[in-house]
Structures are given as C-alpha cells and as structure tokens.
Amino acid sequence: MFFKESMDKTSEVVDRTRNTVPIGVLGQMPSKQALVQVVQRTRNEQLKAPPNPNDFANLVIPPSFTMHQIRAAPSPFKQVFTLHAKWRGTHRVVPCLHALLPDKKETTYETLFRQVKLLVNNAAPSSFGCDYEQALMNAFSTVFPGTEIRGCYFHFSQNARSHYSDYGIQALVDNDPRIALQAKMIRSLAFVPLQDLDAAYDELLMHIDIGVWGPYLRNYFEPWYFGIRNNFGQGRRDGIFKREIWNVYQRTLEGEMRTTNTIEGYHFRINSIMSEMHPTLWKFIEKLKKFDESINSDYLQWIDGKEPTRVRRYVAQEKQKLSIVENYHQVTKIEYLRAVANRLA
C-alpha cells in the first residue's frame, strides 16, 4: 500500500484517496476520522523509531522524524484570512472563505467584510468569534453593527499569561502553586455572570497576593479587559475589550463555543499542505484547491451522518466545567473562582 512509504501527512493520504472516488463510493466509506486511524496504525508499525544511538557516529535521523516549518502567506501578501461557519449548531466549523490580505489594517478588514456582505446578499450572522485583534473587531462591527462579537477564551487566557514576564511574576507562577492558582482565578473571572463581575473582582482582590499581582492588574488586566475604576470609585469604564466580548458565562451555560481552537486546526491543515516555506502565489492557489477538495469530501460525509466524534476526555472536562457553572449561585464567589480555576489547564 502506497501510504506505507509515502512521506505525505496522514490526512493528505486519506484526502487524496477520498477526493478521487465517486460520490456513491464515498458514501459507503468509513468516516475520515476512522480512515486516518487505520493509516496511522499501519504507519506506526512500518515507521517505528530506530534504536537509540550510542554516539554521534551512529546517529542517523530518518526523514520521517524531521520537523516541518510553518508556512507563510505567498508574497506579496501578509496573511491568509479565513472565515468559517458553524455546522448545524455543533462545535464543528466549515471553512467558507479564504482571502489573501496585504496587511492587518482596519480599512483592509472593512473592505473584505463589505465584499463578504455582498456575497451573502446583505445577511448578517448572529455572532462572530475571533481572537483579540482590535482592528478586526472594529471593522466587523462597522460592517455588521448588529452582530455580537465573541472573543476567544483561549486567546484571552493566552494573552493574560503572555504578560506575566513583563511584571516579573512568570517565575512565581511557574514555581509557586499558590500563585499559579491565583493566576487561574484571575482568568476564571471570564466565567462569572456579567452583573456580578465587579463584586467577584473586589472579593478576589482580598484573597490574592496583591503585592505580586497589583502592578499587573492595574497596568495590564484592567486597562485591556476588566476596566479602570472611575473617579471617586463609582463603577468602572470599559477596558479596550468590553466585558461582553471576553465573558463566557452565558456561552458555557448554552453550550456555545468559547474558543476558536477548531479553526486553528484548519489553519494547521492549510500549513501542512504547503511544501515550501514561501510558496509562489500560483503554488499556493493550487494547494488551496486541493485543501478545498478535502473540505468538500468532509462536508459530503457529514451530510451522510459521518461526523467526527469528540474526544472523550474533552467531553468529560466540559461536563465538569458546565456542572460548576450551573451551580454558580450555590457557592461563594471565591469558591466558584477556585473551582473553575482547578478545571483550567
């Protein structure tokens, strides 16, 4: 079988096979997830790791163990922008549009979204999930003013962690379990109902080491996300990203998506089909067409009811997190923040 010797990625081997069979045959084939597992099991038997070398003279690295670099957008473009739509109310998404953009300016995004609006006959989505790129959010709100902007919790959490080193607390978070838990409790504020955020934050400030967290909260977390207290202590002004954008309490209760991680998976697939670091525009388009064929095969099998199953461990974690959120009113705010924090990776 050719996939034993092929150096192509497992998903590429499966896609190439599925894309060449008639639709009638495709409907009788196992799901892509099942086919990938078959290929992976076979390859694992054929491509076992060689014995560990005792010295440099005996060190030979087979091609299957080499790393692949992440590909970039073709010159002269700066990024590949993708739009996805949810599949039938599930947590799965379908890529609907790819755009090569020259920059990340708000005006560029606005031009793109106006073209998208024309393509969908001026329809507007009920919500738009994205990472925390202000120009992107502003442009989308300009073109689709009635659409709810939903920030990705993963990127919210990632952004919060990325600034620890700026305030000299990264080592404490890494080495002190008490400070590490406090870090997670701060991020857990995203799971508190909007109307209770101020009270939860004030209570949290009394339970964390303010000598460690004070500068970080005042100079980063509050200006960007939580909001700065108004003069005379009456309420808070919105942060750069409003609370409604990063709060996920209601989304969690309703089983809605909190992150864009599924989309990141598609981005990885696009990168994986690029055979060079900086492909020409024409090679990029050619590879993207093959990717589109793969997505179409996925779509046809999903219609036939062969949707990929969710990882059991992830499903169990989500159930635990939902149980905590559903019982928000049964515990104190600090108990709630600690419970959510203990479920965060």
pLDDT at 74: 85
pTM above 0.85, yes or no: no
Question: For the ranges 10-24, 75-89, 217-231, which has the lowest average pLDDT?
Answer: 10-24
pLDDT at 57: 46
85 part of a folded domain: yes
126 part of a folded domain: yes
Query: 59 with 193, same domain?
Result: no
84 part of a folded domain: yes
Name which residue leads in pLDDT, 343 or 214. 214
Tokens of 62: 């087979």
Query: 33 with 97, same domain?
Result: no
72 part of a folded domain: no
Question: For the ranges 24-28, 107-111, 195-199, which has the lowest average pLDDT?
Answer: 24-28
How do residues 243-264 score in pLDDT, each as one tens digit? 999 999 999 998 887 766 666 6
Question: How big is the chain by its Cα radius of gyration, in Å?
Answer: 24
Query: 173 with 143, same domain?
Result: no
Query: 208 with 321, same domain?
Result: yes
State the average pLDDT over residues 125-131: 91
Contact predicate 186/204, CB 8 Å: yes
Q: Which one-letter amino acid corresponds to residue 183?
A: A
Query: 15 with 119, same domain?
Result: no
How many independent structural domains does the chain possess?
Answer: 3
Query: 147 with 86, same domain?
Result: yes
Query: 142 with 89, same domain?
Result: yes
244 part of a folded domain: no
Domain coverage including residue 110: 79-152+260-303
71 part of a folded domain: no
Asked whether the bond before 76 is cis by omega within 30 degrees of 0, the reply is yes
Query: 84 with 147, same domain?
Result: yes
246 part of a folded domain: no
Percent of the chain at pLDDT exceeding 70: 72
Q: Look over the chain and give the mean of its residue pLDDT values, rounded to a whole number.
A: 82
Torsions phi, psi of 61, nearest 5? Answer: -100, 110
Burial of 317 (0-12, 13-18, 19+ CB in 10 A): middle
